[in-house]
């Protein structure tokens, strides 16, 4: 998937976020269960945390801060995470909270 295609798909799919609970953290909107979604995406991908960080294009330490310290990803990292999720079977549903798994 080309980067421009991923951006277009990202904005189109953002329209699916109409009835989800969001929390305001550090001035950015993120789902309250973002860390759980990240864990489930990692499990669905079959990668290690460092492998997933490489696939997304972020440092492993940044991935650690997202899941253990509650740090919110920046805009560019959110897009990269979304693009990664689009390549994992069920990944978009996990990140959008529309899958049938635990929330």
**pLDDT of amino acid 18:** 44
Alpha helices in the chain (DSSP H): 3-14, 34-45, 49-56, 60-68, 75-86, 91-96
CA-based nearest residue to 19, from 97, 103, 99: 97
Cα 101 to Cα 22, 23, 42, 60, 78: the distances in Å are 18, 21, 14, 26, 21
d(CA 99, CA 92): 9
**pLDDT of amino acid 54:** 95
Please give the model's pTM, rounded to 2 decimal places.
Answer: 0.72
| Domains in the chain, CATH or no CATH each | 3-12+33-96 (1.10.260)
pLDDT tens for each residue of the chain, 103 residues long: 555 666 666 666 665 554 444 444 444 567 788 899 999 999 999 999 999 999 999 999 999 999 998 888 887 888 899 899 999 999 999 988 887 655 4
DSSP H or E segment with residue 24: strand 22-25
């Amino acid at each position: 998937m080309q980067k421009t295609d991923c951006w277009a798909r990202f904005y189109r799919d953002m329209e699916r976020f109409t009835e989800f609970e969001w929390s305001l953290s550090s001035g950015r909107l993120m789902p309250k269960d973002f860390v759980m979604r990240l864990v489930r995406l990692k499990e669905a991908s079959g990668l290690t945390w460092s492998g997933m960080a490489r696939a997304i294009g972020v440092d492993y330490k940044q991935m650690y801060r997202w899941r253990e310290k509650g740090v919110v990803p920046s805009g560019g990292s959110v897009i990269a995470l979304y693009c990664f999720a689009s390549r994992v079977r069920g990944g978009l549903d996990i990140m959008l909270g529309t899958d049938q798994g635990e929330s």
